[in-house]
């Protein structure tokens, strides 16, 4: 999952980005509203974490520029917790709202829920045949047995499972699984896929030559 975090406090921005990366999100950052709009319109993020009080262009302004063209789910972060502020945020096109100070686990859960909802999933548990993916705990079970996966393998599997039935292009995978600072080479994707096949079964991930990968 690739997430954009727009927050003007550099310490908080770094802390948020680190936290999300540790949860295997690919994270891009922006320090002001204009940079946020620029990045949000050029990359197809899975979610955007948006602070309200931003220099140059505030959170409302960013939302107004994004909607309705960009449909990426937006989670607003703000110190203003009055009901009118929250209502305004949701009415402006935000998908969720979290007031500072927030609990990190809650932020992560809300982000997962946002991504899940936009892909049409309703539960945090994804089942493919006898394989279960627990997106909350980020663990994979094959016939009830815990299968250890690396972080990269996990996000790849989760992304394909969330878009089950669709053929996901390599470009899309790069866009959603790696952030702007990653310099992973393209053949690494093939390595991760073959590792997943080895651990979870040959037939789980189908290769569509020239198109990409797919979980049926």
Partner 1 sequence: MRTFFHSIRWRVQAWHGAILLTVILGFCLTSHRLAWNNQLRSVDRSLAQTERTLIRGLMQAAEAHGEPGPGFSPRRLADKLRSNPEVFPSALGAIFQGREPGFAYFSLRDADNRPLLQSPNVPEDVAVPLHTPPEFAEEARTVSGRREIVHRTPDGLVSIIGMDLGPERREMRRFAWSLVALGGGVWLVGLLGGWWLAGRAIQPVADISRTASRIAEGNLEERIVPDGTNSELDQLSRVLNATFDRLHAALERQKQFTADASHELRTPVTILLSETQRILKRDRTPEEYRAVIQTCQATAQRMRQLTEALLLLARQDRGAGELRREPCDLAAILRTTAAQLQPLADARGIQLRLELETALCMGDPTALSILTTNLVGNAVEHHDRAGGVVVVGCGVHEGQVRLAVSDDGPGIPAADLPHVFDRFYRVDSARSGGSGHVGLGLAIAKAIATNHGGDIVAENLPGRGCRFSVQLPARSPSARASS
Record the tokens describing residue 107, joined without a space: 């932020």
Residue whose CB is less far from partner 1, 20 or 126: 20
Q: How far is the CB of 148 from partner 1 (least distance, A)?
A: 15
Residue whose CB is less far from partner 1, 39 or 56: 56
Strand 96-99 relative to strand 74-78, pairing: parallel
* Max CA separation in the chain (angstroms): 53
Strand 205-208 relative to strand 212-215, pairing: antiparallel
Q: How far is the CB of 115 from partner 1 (least distance, A)?
A: 20
Residue whose CB is less far from partner 1, 83 or 143: 83
Q: How far is the CB of 14 from partner 1 (least distance, A)?
A: 8
Residue matched to tokens 């992304």:
159
Q: How far is the CB of 84 from partner 1 (least distance, A)?
A: 12
Residue whose CB is less far from partner 1, 99 or 169: 99
- CB atoms under 10 Å from CB of 121, counted, come to 17
Residue whose CB is less far from partner 1, 47 or 193: 47
CA distance 75 to 40: 13
CA distance 24 to 159: 12
CA distance 192 to 116: 23
Q: How far is the CB of 61 from partner 1 (least distance, A)?
A: 14
CA distance 114 to 13: 20
What residue ranges bind partner 1 (CB under 8 A)? 8-12, 15-16, 18-19, 22, 53, 55-56, 79-80, 99-105
């Amino acid at each position: 999952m690739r997430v954009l975090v727009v927050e003007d406090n550099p310490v908080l921005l770094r802390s948020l980005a680190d936290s999300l990366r540790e949860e295997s999100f690919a994270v891009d950052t922006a320090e002001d509203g204009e940079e946020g709009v620029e990045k949000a319109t050029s990359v197809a993020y899975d979610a955007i974490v948006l602070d309200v009080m931003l220099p140059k262009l505030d959170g409302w302004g960013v939302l107004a520029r994004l909607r309705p063209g960009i449909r990426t789910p937006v989670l607003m972060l703000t110190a203003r917790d009055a009901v009118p502020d929250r209502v305004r945020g949701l009415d402006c096109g935000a998908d969720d709202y979290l007031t500072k100070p927030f609990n990190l686990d809650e932020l992560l859960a809300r982000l997962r829920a946002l991504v899940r909802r936009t892909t049409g999933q309703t539960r945090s548990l994804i089942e493919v045949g006898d394989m279960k993916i627990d997106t909350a705990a980020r663990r994979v079970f094959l016939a009830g047995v815990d299968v250890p996966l690396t972080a990269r393998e996990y996000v790849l599997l989760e992304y394909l499972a969330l878009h089950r039935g669709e053929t996901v292009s390599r470009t899309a995978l790069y866009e959603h699984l790696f952030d702007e600072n990653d310099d992973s080479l393209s053949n690494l994707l093939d390595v991760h896929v073959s590792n997943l096949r080895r651990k979870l079964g040959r037939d789980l991930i189908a290769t569509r030559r020239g198109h990409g990968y797919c979980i049926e």
